[in-house]
Amino acid sequence: MSVPLRRSAPGTKASTATAQSSAVITESKDVAEAQTLADAALGAAGHSVSDPYIRDLGRLIASGEISGDEAVQRALTHIDGF
């Protein structure tokens, strides 16, 4: 996949790359590939995400609709019920 899933810290090489390489993943195929990669990485570590709401948060991150920080906050709220 040619689009990075997360950005590097400001001032690093990746953060100064062209707009194309730092573009948000918007095509559904790219989002599906990002989720497949995440599922594979989790599976290799013996983990999985089965909650549909939490899985949807992963899709929202991959498509650039929300940040990882926002997804964590939403996940904690969902799990804790607050």
pLDDT digits (tens, 9 = 90+) for 11-61: 545 444 444 444 555 568 899 999 999 999 999 999 999 999 999 999 999
Written as six digits, the tokens of 1 are 């996949």
Q: How far is CA 71 from CA 1, 10, 14, 55, in A?
A: 23, 22, 23, 10
Average pLDDT (2-6) is 46
pTM beyond cutoff 0.75: no
Residue where the block lists tokens 């989720």: 35
Q: Is-contact 68 62, C-beta < 8 A?
A: no
What is the C-alpha separation between 6 and 17, in angstroms, rounded?
Answer: 13
